[in-house]
Structure 1
Amino acid sequence: MVLTKEEQEKLEYSGYRFAGQHSHAGAKICHWTKKSILNEGECYKQKFYGIESHRCLQMSPAIPFCHQKCSFCWRDLSLTKTEWKGDYDDPKTIIDDCVKAQRNLLCGFFGNEKADKKKLEESKDPTNAAISLAGEPTLYPEIDDLINEFEKRKFTTFLVSNGLLYEKLRALENEPTQLYLSLDAPNKKTYNSICNPQINDGWTKLNRSLELLSSFDSRTCIRTTCVKGENMKNPEEYSELINKANPDYIEIKAYMCVGYSRKRLTLDNMPEHTEVRDFAEKIANLTGREIVNESEISRVVLVK
């Protein structure tokens, strides 16, 4: 077992459900999945890309593993291992168990009179996998086969990566529907400060992934989490990196002061939507793009 029994129970208490036998993969119901079932709103991914929030499976094959300890991460970084250790479960088992966990976690909504019955029935069979719940998904040894297995089951897949395993990205035979690369700093100094890489040459490896991005046939997106007072600076340097990557989309999103990040940052680090939009406008102008959508409630702006 990668996680101790106590560590696993701690995560389960906060809503995680583990898949397989080796406690490295699992699912958790997204806030917006619940909101959608109650017809109280949808995730910005539905607004931007047409993903149905009530049919989205938020999961990860590598919950305890990441080679960064970002200051803005809402996870409990004390549980994070920076390299893969131990045995692992196969993609079919992971997906089967994650879907089962999703159904079990949503069962309480069947007694809720406010729940949309049609959406609730549809939620039993998710159609999109947000491979981004926790950890770095490309550390999972069978990430290529996991994407392929999702595709066999008619899922769309949104894979979020920190870009440090550029070799794994380059070797993917099965591309996700949308590949996100996190770009949370305009230069090496800021990157080391805010992303706290636990391996050598993190900045160099991220840049290798940025150079790879335009070679993907799938939809690609650069995501920047804006931490006020930390990384909302040097838009010219961001723009040079973005131009090198040439993604289909850029998401400029506010850091949200939630979870364990509150032990490292404060409400003062959470920018207002107007500040995020102003920063996105600078990026758009410098990259010859334009703002095409936004979600004020999620404090995120889409640039294309």
Structure 2
Amino acid sequence: MTFTKEEQAKLEYSGYRFVGEHGHAAAKTCHWTRKSIKNEGVCYKEQFYGVKSHRCLQMSPAVPFCHQKCSFCWRDLSQTRTEWEGEYDDPKTIIEGAIKAQNNLLCGFGGNKKADRKKLEESKRPTNAAISLAGEPTLYPEIDELIGEFHRQDFTTFLVSNGMYWEKLGSLENEPTQLYVSLDAPNEKVYNELCNPQIDDGWGKLNKTLELMPSFKNNTAIRITSVKGKNMFNTDEYAELINKADPTYVEVKAYMFVGSSRKRLSMDNMPRFHEVNDFAKEIADKTGRELTKYSEASRVVLLE
């Protein structure tokens, strides 16, 4: 069982396009993809890592499934299942469908005078898969093969994980180009309050993933979603966890007051850029890292 027709329709209304037969995979055009096509700015991932915004495919193979119900998640969490249920589509079907869905979503730019014709043409052949749209991608039974198939089709891959399924991450034969692990709390108490794990020992599982991260050959990143009044403190504890994971990058990013998170948090929980920057600097000082790049528009800071 995945989404009901009503649940799926609600997500499609907000810009999702489900692909395949079984209703668990989807693509959604990123705000920055559309901006880039009109030469009105690019995603911080282009500024930080060189990923071309107009050629980035934002997708997920596991939209209905996640181990956590984070209070800062923009999704309607009443729809989330914590374990995989039912049949699933194969990686080739998902990738083909996601590319087609993105092209359909962007076809309106053909009549837009502001569209950069070269970028619009290039956007039809995306080169990076941001496997991060919604849900926990490691719950998709064929995540390893999905990454491998993207690579065979000359994509780079950015896989974003909550770190709960450390066994799956540890057994990947196809490493993503960059593995992101969400670290949204300095300790177990804050983690339980903010991330609301739906499985036993979520904090222990996350720590196993942090211990595993140094074994990855490709780039790794820790992402901290900064929620004002909820998790922007105890930087000594964050530093200890980051040092254990020893990632290539640390991204410190503001929580954004959007979607269903507005029912769980308030506008006051969305930090300003200078607050994110100050928090990031404190973490940088305690981990021996440098603040190398930032995007004020996205309220995100990069530590290396």
Q: What TM-score, normalized by structure 1, do the two folds share? A: 0.99
Q: Which moved more, 1:74-83 or 1:161-170?
A: 74-83
Partner of 1:83: 83
1:131 aligns with 2:134: no
Provide the C-alpha distance between the structure 2 equivalents of 1:75 and 1:56, rounded to a whole number of angstroms: 21
Secondary structure of the equivalent of 1:241?
helix
Partner of 2:7: 7
Secondary structure of the equivalent of 1:160?
strand
Provide the C-alpha distance between the structure 2 equivalents of 1:128 and 1:154, rounded to a whole number of angstroms: 8
Provide the C-alpha distance between the structure 2 equivalents of 1:91 and 1:48, rounded to a whole number of angstroms: 28
Q: Which runs of 4+ in 1 moved over 3 A?
A: none
Secondary structure of the equivalent of 2:224?
strand
Aligned AA (1:130): A
Shift of 1:79: 1.0
1:122 aligns with 2:126: no
Provide the C-alpha distance between the structure 1 equivalents of 2:116 and 2:267, rounded to a whole number of angstroms: 34
1:9-51 deviations in Å (ceiling 9; x for gaps): 1111110001100000010000000000111100000000000
Provide the C-alpha distance between the structure 2 equivalents of 1:76 and 1:65, rounded to a whole number of angstroms: 12
Shift of 1:52: 0.2
1:182 aligns with 2:182: yes
Shift of 1:266: 1.1
Shift of 1:78: 1.3
Partner of 1:154: 154
Partner of 1:238: 238
Partner of 1:207: 207
Provide the C-alpha distance between the structure 2 equivalents of 1:40 and 1:136, rounded to a whole number of angstroms: 31
Provide the C-alpha distance between the structure 2 equivalents of 1:57 and 1:266, rounded to a whole number of angstroms: 30
Aligned length: 304
Secondary structure of the equivalent of 1:100?
helix
Q: What TM-score, normalized by structure 2, do the two folds share? A: 0.99
Shift of 1:2: 1.1
Aligned AA (1:181): V
- Structure 2: stretches of 5+ with no match in the other structure: none
Q: Identity of aligned pairs, percent?
A: 72
Provide the C-alpha distance between the structure 2 equivalents of 1:245 and 1:50, rounded to a whole number of angstroms: 24
1:185-244 deviations in Å (ceiling 9; x for gaps): 000000000000000000000000000000000100000000000000100000000000
Q: Cα RMSD over matched residues? A: 0.5
Partner of 1:253: 253
Provide the C-alpha distance between the structure 2 equivalents of 1:5 and 1:269, rounded to a whole number of angstroms: 33
Provide the C-alpha distance between the structure 2 equivalents of 1:72 and 1:7, rounded to a whole number of angstroms: 20
Secondary structure of the equivalent of 1:251?
strand
